[in-house]
Amino acid sequence: MKWLQCSKPCCPDVWKAPADLCLAEDPHTHRVQGVLPCCPKCKAVARPNVQMFGGDSGFSRARRGAQNTRYDAWVNSLASRPDVSSLSVVCLEVGCGLTVPTVRRELEKVVQRFPGGRLVRVNPENPGLAKELVEKGVSLPLPAAAAIEKLSQQVAQTEEIMQATYVLWGQEGGCEIRAPFGTCLGRLLRLVETQGRMSVEFKPDVVGIVKQAMGPRTEPLTLERSVPMDMYQEVKIGDGTKLEVTAIIRVMAKFSGGSSTVGGWSLNASLATRVDQVCKLLDEVNHAFSQPEYQKAAEGCEDRRSLLKETRNVQFEVLPKYGIEATEKGTSIMAAWISSAQNGIKDVEDKVAASMHLSRIAYASKLPLAKNKAKEAAPTPAQTPQTQSVTVERAPFPEKKASAPTGQPPPPVTQAPPKATPLGVATPPVAFGSPPWQTAVEKEERLVEKKEPPKPKPKPKEEKPPQALTVTLTRFSTWEDPTPQRFKVELMSNTKVSELRAKIAELCQLDDSETRKVKLIKRKKAGFVTAQETESVSSEVFVHQIEKWPK
């Protein structure tokens, strides 16, 4: 109805209708009042570019032909995707009867073309499904308005599911997007195209690796698999102070067509902002590390703790400028933030390496953990009080082939000079036992010095008696809503997670299959982790992948 054509028609032209035709209906005659739109060429009355029933020979097919061409190209592009087997193509058919079954036939053909295709047929008079579509479709014998309202409510509930940030790194590019928890890798790659506005090339057997922002753990992903809950961690956004639950994924796919290019890598706008801010942070920190004052202070550090303290002083001055608190927690946030932008981009890698070198953290392993306090407390020769010389009779040496002749002093003991570390701190030589000519008295004194008091035996832990515990259960998909779906159960502190699962199944009336699908999640500082069946419950538990919920 938004497009007009000539009613004769004098030509195949189609033009857009004005927003307001300034027409009204006469309440008595039911005729139109006002000036009807006309064809700009022949001045005949215009008509909507809609095909009428009963053989509409005057219908202009020019615009419909272009639409069909774009539609066919889109369907063919979906069918040729490497992940076609995992595509969920849903065809929504509203009010298409049997009189003109053109739309019905087209949608049935599309559903059968895709392995994961599904048909939703809305028709109160002809709602039936063909035999071959019974397993791939659902029929709603409802009026169109009622069905659309119900479907809209379902879509709105889906959109309310908690969102996470996904940073995907591929070959020659990367993309940062937002998607719900539980989104599979195949869906994430499609969102890179639609939400990230980038092109992605990959093979049907493509795999991804999800890695922790802070930690060495990794997990493989296939197109159908989603990120495990314990692999999400809180990471700072590209620009600002907010922390978002994030998953970092490396995937064997080629990304191209991003809005920015950084070091030869094609990135979308969100990821480009993240990389740019991380580079600015590293530049500012490295500038402070390169100053003579810091280098002199770092060179004078004799242990790792003092070097780390000097490093923190510099970092704490820079971090607040980038929305990160100047605390030990802030340095962890900084490290996770840098890790999310570090994926082989040479500029970022060079800045990280320079930071490790200039701060001297790269050489910290050569230093002791803490300064030797016993060495500090040892008196200098000037402080050592003079004592009277005491003649001590030496014990006889056992006869050995290589021993020194009797009555002659033992050969001098030589030690290698101390080695210098990369930080210029000398490493003291290591003593291997006592010299063989040590006197019996000296030996005895040394043994007394080395003798340590016996360590007290650790007291066995007293098991606390189980206590009453109120456990708050929150439906995971609603926990950020203003009124999240929650209920409480009274348990004991020694109740196991497996017992809680059985309790939830009883309260929510779940069968065995539904009970097994339920995931119980607990929250930690670094993010969310799956609760183990054998561990005791905590006071707050999140319930994921549950269909039924107590009212």
Model confidence at 290, pLDDT cuts 50, 70, 90, reads very high
pLDDT, tens digit (0-9, with 9 covering 90-100), for 456-474: 666 665 667 888 889 999 9
Lowest mean pLDDT among 163-177, 359-373, 407-421, 519-533: 407-421
The DSSP bridge pattern shows strands 419-420 and 426-427 to be: antiparallel
Whether the per-residue pLDDT at 415 is higher than 50: the answer is no
pLDDT, tens digit (0-9, with 9 covering 90-100), for 111-122: 999 998 999 999
Whether the per-residue pLDDT at 401 is higher than 50: the answer is no
pLDDT, tens digit (0-9, with 9 covering 90-100), for 20-77: 888 899 889 989 888 899 999 999 999 999 988 777 888 888 888 889 999 999 999 9
Phi/psi at 492 (5° precision): -110, 155
- The pLDDT assigned to 522 comes to 85
Model confidence at 153, pLDDT cuts 50, 70, 90, reads confident
Burial 471-493 (b: 16+ CB within 10 A, else e): bebbbbbbbeeeeebbbebebee
Whether the per-residue pLDDT at 439 is higher than 70: the answer is no
Q: Quick one: tokens of 331?
A: 């340095």
Q: Please tell me whether residue 23 adopts helix, strand or coil conformation.
A: coil
Lowest mean pLDDT among 62-76, 130-144, 152-166, 415-429: 415-429
Which distant-in-sequence residues (6+ apart) come within 8 Å of 148 by Cβ?
A: 94, 122
Measured distance CA(96)–CA(126) in Å, rounded: 8
Model confidence at 426, pLDDT cuts 50, 70, 90, reads very low
- The pLDDT assigned to 229 comes to 86
Average pLDDT over residues 118-140: 91
DSSP lists the bridge partners of residue 211 as: 218, 248
Of 512 and 155, which is predicted with more confidence? 512
Burial 519-546 (b: 16+ CB within 10 A, else e): bbbbeeebbbeebeeeebbeeebbbbeb
Measured distance CA(355)–CA(305) in Å, rounded: 18
Whether the per-residue pLDDT at 478 is higher than 80: the answer is no
Lowest mean pLDDT among 154-158, 307-311, 535-539: 154-158
- The pLDDT assigned to 88 comes to 87
DSSP line for 466-477:
P-EEEEEEEEGG
Of 185 and 464, which is predicted with more confidence? 185
Of 396 and 475, which is predicted with more confidence? 475
Of 217 and 382, which is predicted with more confidence? 217
Average pLDDT over residues 373-389: 49
Measured distance CA(331)–CA(1) in Å, rounded: 60
> Nearest-CA neighbor of 233 among 186, 167, 174, 327?
167
Average pLDDT over residues 414-430: 38
pLDDT, tens digit (0-9, with 9 covering 90-100), for 258-282: 999 998 999 999 999 999 999 999 9
> Nearest-CA neighbor of 256 among 266, 242, 269?
266
- The pLDDT assigned to 442 comes to 40
Cα 70 to chain center, whole Å?
35
pTM value is: 0.61
- The pLDDT assigned to 343 comes to 86
Model confidence at 2, pLDDT cuts 50, 70, 90, reads confident
Whether the per-residue pLDDT at 407 is higher than 50: the answer is no
Phi/psi at 20 (5° precision): -135, 120
DSSP line for 220-269:
EE-TTPBPPGGG-EEEE-SSSS-EEEEEEEEEEEEEE--SEEETTEEE-H
- The pLDDT assigned to 398 comes to 39
Model confidence at 402, pLDDT cuts 50, 70, 90, reads very low
Query: H/E element holding 277?
Result: helix 269-289
- Percent of the chain that is helix, strand, coil (3-state, to 5): 35, 20, 45
- The pLDDT assigned to 460 comes to 63
Q: In Å, what is the CA distance from 317 to each residue of 81, 310, 326? A: 50, 12, 7
- The pLDDT assigned to 458 comes to 66
- The pLDDT assigned to 268 comes to 96
Query: Which domains does the chain possess?
Result: 1-80 (no CATH), 82-159 (no CATH), 163-271 (3.10.20), 278-366 (no CATH), 468-544 (3.10.20.90)
Whether the per-residue pLDDT at 432 is higher than 60: the answer is no
Model confidence at 173, pLDDT cuts 50, 70, 90, reads very high
Whether the per-residue pLDDT at 444 is higher than 80: the answer is no
pLDDT, tens digit (0-9, with 9 covering 90-100), for 237-247: 998 899 999 99
Lowest mean pLDDT among 164-168, 218-222, 526-530: 526-530
Whether the per-residue pLDDT at 217 is higher than 80: the answer is yes
Q: What is the mean pLDDT of the chain?
A: 82
Model confidence at 380, pLDDT cuts 50, 70, 90, reads low
Measured distance CA(361)–CA(234) in Å, rounded: 25
